[in-house]
């Protein structure tokens, strides 16, 4: 997925119709922005695939790695062991 974006940005930076075929003068900027987009996609995909803790009070989704002590949605205090919260 990310490789495709980088590849497309490289292809987009290439001057296909120019008389001497070659990369555009701003090819580096286009490729770099493509890599930046690919990086954002990787980070977004990674965070989306991560498991979520669910606040027992309001059901809000909380990232596991954030180690939150308080729910940002309702302010409910969360125990350190998110998965083994005692049933209410
Ligand atoms: Zn909550």
Which residue in this structure is represented by tokens 């075929």? 21
Q: What is the pLDDT of residues 12-52, one digit of tens each?
A: 777 777 777 787 778 888 889 999 999 999 888 877 776 77
Q: What is the pTM of this model?
A: 0.45
The alpha carbon of 41 and the centre of ligand 1 are apart by a number of angstroms equal to 28
The alpha carbon of 69 and the centre of ligand 1 are apart by a number of angstroms equal to 11
70: phi then psi, degrees, rounded to nearest 5: -135, 140
The alpha carbon of 77 and the centre of ligand 1 are apart by a number of angstroms equal to 8
The alpha carbon of 81 and the centre of ligand 1 are apart by a number of angstroms equal to 15
């Amino acid at each position: 997925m990310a490789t495709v974006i980088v590849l497309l940005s490289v292809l987009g930076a290439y001057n296909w119709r120019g008389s001497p075929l070659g990369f555009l003068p701003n090819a580096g900027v286009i490729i770099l922005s493509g890599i930046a987009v690919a990086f954002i996609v990787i980070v977004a995909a990674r965070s989306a695939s991560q498991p979520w803790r669910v606040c027992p009070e309001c059901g809000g989704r909380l990232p596991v790695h954030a180690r939150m002590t308080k729910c940002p949605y309702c302010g409910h205090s969360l125990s350190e062991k998110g998965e083994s919260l005692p049933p209410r």
